[in-house]
Structure 1
C-alpha cells in the first residue's frame, strides 16, 4: 500500500510531502503524469496526490486531456480514497467531482494571505492553520465547485482557494512546497523548496496521518466499491443459506437485529421476518457503494442502512438483541476489538452469529492455500477469543457447505 503522487512537472520533487508520508509509516510512489505514466487502477493505493503544472485551469478545462486522471479521481471519490489536489490537481479534482475549471485571462503568481472560512476551523487539515496564512496565489483562473464541496479558504480575487469534497478529498489551488522567492511555475518546479511554513507542514502531516489511520478502510472500500453494482446478482444463489443461518438466531418479534458488514443486505429480509414489523433491523457497512446498491434493490424496505465502522458502532450499550456477521470477523485486523464492541452494544441475552456460505477448508482450497492454524475462526482460537470479549460459544459448525458459530452474551471474565 502506498501514497501515489501524480506529477505534472518534470523535475518536481515532493520533499515535504515525502517526509510527511515517511513519518506516517507509508510508502510514496510517484508517476510521471506528463508522459502518460499512470497507475492502472486504485488497487494498493492508500491515497492519491495530484500536483500542479503550468497553466492549470486551461489544461484542466479540457477533460479529454486528462481522461485517465479524471477516471482515477472519480474512482477515488466514489471509494472515499483520500485525495490531495494541489494547483492543477485541485482543478482536476473539481472537474472530476462535477465542477468546472475556467481558463485564466492572464498568467502569473503572487504571494499573499488566505482568508479562512468558518468551515476551516473544524477541517481535519486546516484546523490549526494561522488566521491569514501566506501562500503563492495563481492569478486569473477560477473554479466552479460542485454543490457538495465545502470552501475552506479564499482571497480578495478568488472566492475559492481551498476546498473539501466529502470527508476524504481536498483541493488547494496553491502549492504547499514553494520557494518563498518563486513567482513562476518554472521556478517552483526546478528550485528545491525551502522548508515550508510550519502550518504547511502541519497540513501535510495531518493528511499523511489521516491516510495512515484510514488505510484499512480505504483498502476495503476500494475493493468493494468497484464490485458493488454486480454483488447482489453474483451471489443471489446464496440467499437460502443466509435465510437458514438467520433462522438459527431464534430472535423474537419486537427485538433489534443487526447485519454487520451487510454489503447489499442479503440477511436483512430474513432478520426482518424474525423481529417482525415492530422490531428494528440495521444494515451496517463501511462502504458507501455497497449501501447504495442495497438501497437500490429495496433493502430499505427491510430496515435502516448505516455507514459505520463495525469496531466503533454509533449505538448505545445493550441495545441490540441479534448480531449477524457473514464473512467479516476473519478479515478484521483486530478481531478482539470488534468482538468487544459487539458485546458492548449487545443486550444481556444477545445472540451473535458468525457465518459464511462455505466452510473454512473449501475457502482455503479455493484460494490455493492450506488452512492456517492462526485462523481466528478455528475453534481453538475462536472459543477463547469469544470468552475474553464477553461471549460464550454455544454452537460451532465447520462443514463443507457452510461455516457457522453461534455465541451468546456472557459476562467478561474479570467482571
Structure 2
C-alpha cells in the first residue's frame, strides 16, 4: 500500500497518483486538512508520499508530530518516501542539477538546467546526511535524497493535472513582480510537466520493483528492538538445529536471514576460529539489534537481499536459514541463488522452531510449499538433494546437499 499524506485540498496526489496507478500500486490518502488521523505505523507500507501544504518549511500544523514520526519510521525501514512541493513564490528561476543527480535513479533524465516556477518564499536546511540533487540561487534545496529510498523535491514541480490551471489563475497577481511570467508560462509549464511526469514514473517503477522487500523490511523494523526479548528461549533450539548440519572446523557458513543473529554463536562454535561465519539480513534494524547483542563477535554482519547475495559462486560450505523462505518474494529464485553460492556437496538447513501444524493449524494445506511432496522437487530443481525432512510438533527441519552441476 502507498500512503499519501495530503495537507490541503488543492494539493492532492494528482500526477504522482496517476503514475502510481499506472504501475498497479494501490494507494490510500490521509487528508489531514479534513481531520484524518495520520497512521501510527508504517508496517503495511511499500511507499509514502507527502504532498505540499504549509507555506513555510518549519510552520507548525495539526498532526505534525504524528507525521514526523511516520516519516522517521519510513526512513528507518528504508520505505521509498517522496516529499513533493512547488518551491517558492518568486516567479521563474533556473534550477541546476548537481553531479549526484546525473546518476540518481529518478533525476538522471532531468536536464542540466531547468526553468522552474517557484510558489512560496521559505527555505530550509539540507537534512543531515542528505545528498543535494538540484539547487537554485533563491531556493538552494530544490531536490535532495536521503539514503537510497527517500527523496524530497520542489523540482520538477509536484502540482497535479490541474496545476497549470491553478498557476494560470494566479499569474496576473504575480506579473507585477515577475515581468514576462504570463507570456512564458504555457510553454515553460509544458516542459516542467514532461520532466515531472518522467520523475514520477521512475518513482512508481522504483516502488513497484522493491515492494516485496519493502513490506518485509517494514514489518521487521518495528519489531527488531524487542525481538531478542520475545524469543529469548530460541537460542538452545537454534544450537540444536546447527548441530544437525555436521559442520567441520574451518568451514565457510552463512546464516541467511540472520535477524538478531541467534544462530551465529552455535555456527562459530562448530567452525572454530579458522572458519568463516556470515550473517545476512534484509532489515538494517535487525542487524543493529544483532550488534547490540554482540553477535558481530561470532560472525560478519551484512545487509543484503536473499535473492541477490553479494557473494561469489561456490563461496560457502553451508547455509543455515531459519524462517526465511516464506518471507522471500520468489522462493524458487532464492533456492537457486543459495545453490549458486554453495560449493558442491555443501549443506542447506531450513529450520523453524515450530512445526507446520503448530504454525498453520490442522488440517494442513496440501499445497503448502513446505510439505515434503512440494519441497523435495522445488529443492531438486534449484540444485539441492533433500536428505532429511522432519515436521515435528516442536520444530521443522529440512536438510539438503548441494548437487554438482
Asked whether the two chains share a fold, i.e. TM above 0.5, the reply is yes
Q: Of the candidates 128, 134, 141, which is equivalent to residue 153 of structure 1?
A: 134
Partner of 1:314, secondary structure, is coil
CA distance in 2, matches of 1:200, 1:271: 51
Q: Of the candidates 225, 240, 244, which is equivalent to residue 244 of structure 1?
A: 240
CA distance in 2, matches of 1:119, 1:339: 36
Structure 1's unaligned 5+ residue stretches are: 91-106, 188-192
Q: Deviations over 1:306-351 (max 9, x none)?
A: 1000000000000011100001112323111000000000011210
Question: Shift of the alpha carbon at 1:234?
Answer: 1.0
Question: Shift of the alpha carbon at 1:17?
Answer: 1.2
Q: Aligned residue for 1:21?
A: 20
Question: Shift of the alpha carbon at 1:168?
Answer: 0.7
Q: Of the candidates 138, 159, 166, which is equivalent to residue 177 of structure 1?
A: 159
What TM-score results when the alignment is normalised by the length of structure 1? 0.87
Give yes or no for contact 1:136–1:183 (8 Å, CA) kept in 2: no
Q: Aligned residue for 1:3?
A: 2
CA distance in 1, matches of 2:207, 2:345: 39
Question: Shift of the alpha carbon at 1:63?
Answer: 8.1
Question: Shift of the alpha carbon at 1:217?
Answer: 1.1
Q: Deviations over 1:234-275 (max 9, x none)?
A: 111011110010011111111111000110010000011111
Partner of 1:142, secondary structure, is coil
What TM-score results when the alignment is normalised by the length of structure 2? 0.89
Structure 1's 244 and 65: CA in aligned 2 closer, same or farther, altered over 3 A? closer
- Check if 1:78 corresponds to 2:76: yes
Give yes or no for contact 1:340–1:390 (8 Å, CA) kept in 2: yes
CA distance in 1, matches of 2:302, 2:168: 48
Q: Aligned residue for 1:257?
A: 253
Q: Aligned residue for 1:52?
A: 52
Q: Aligned residue for 2:178?
A: none
Structure 2's unaligned 5+ residue stretches are: 172-188
Q: Of the candidates 333, 348, 362, which is equivalent to residue 344 of structure 2?
A: 348
Q: Aligned residue for 1:40?
A: 40
Question: Shift of the alpha carbon at 1:186?
Answer: 7.6
Q: Of the candidates 100, 115, 120, which is equivalent to residue 119 of structure 1?
A: 100
Give yes or no for contact 1:5–1:48 (8 Å, CA) kept in 2: yes
Question: Shift of the alpha carbon at 1:166?
Answer: 0.7
CA distance in 1, matches of 2:197, 2:147: 23
Q: Aligned residue for 1:102?
A: none
CA distance in 2, matches of 1:186, 1:39: 34
Deviation larger for 166-175 or 33-42: 33-42
Give yes or no for contact 2:48–2:81 (8 Å, CA) kept in 1: yes
Give yes or no for contact 2:110–2:195 (8 Å, CA) kept in 1: yes
Q: Of the candidates 363, 388, 399, which is equivalent to residue 395 of structure 1?
A: 388
Q: Deviations over 1:64-122 (max 9, x none)?
A: 8601110110110111111000128x9xxxxxxxxxxxxxxxx7242222100000011
Give yes or no for contact 1:110–1:183 (8 Å, CA) kept in 2: no
Q: Deviations over 1:366-394 (max 9, x none)?
A: xxx74221211110001011111110001
Partner of 1:133, secondary structure, is strand
* Equivalenced residues, count: 384
CA distance in 2, matches of 1:167, 1:353: 32
Q: Of the candidates 125, 129, 148, which is equivalent to residue 167 of structure 1?
A: 148
**Superposed, which structure 2 residues align to 1:78-97 within 5 Å?**
78-87=76-85
Q: Aligned residue for 1:190?
A: none
Give yes or no for contact 1:86–1:172 (8 Å, CA) kept in 2: yes
Give yes or no for contact 2:5–2:31 (8 Å, CA) kept in 1: yes
Q: Aligned residue for 1:383?
A: 376
Question: Shift of the alpha carbon at 1:47?
Answer: 0.8
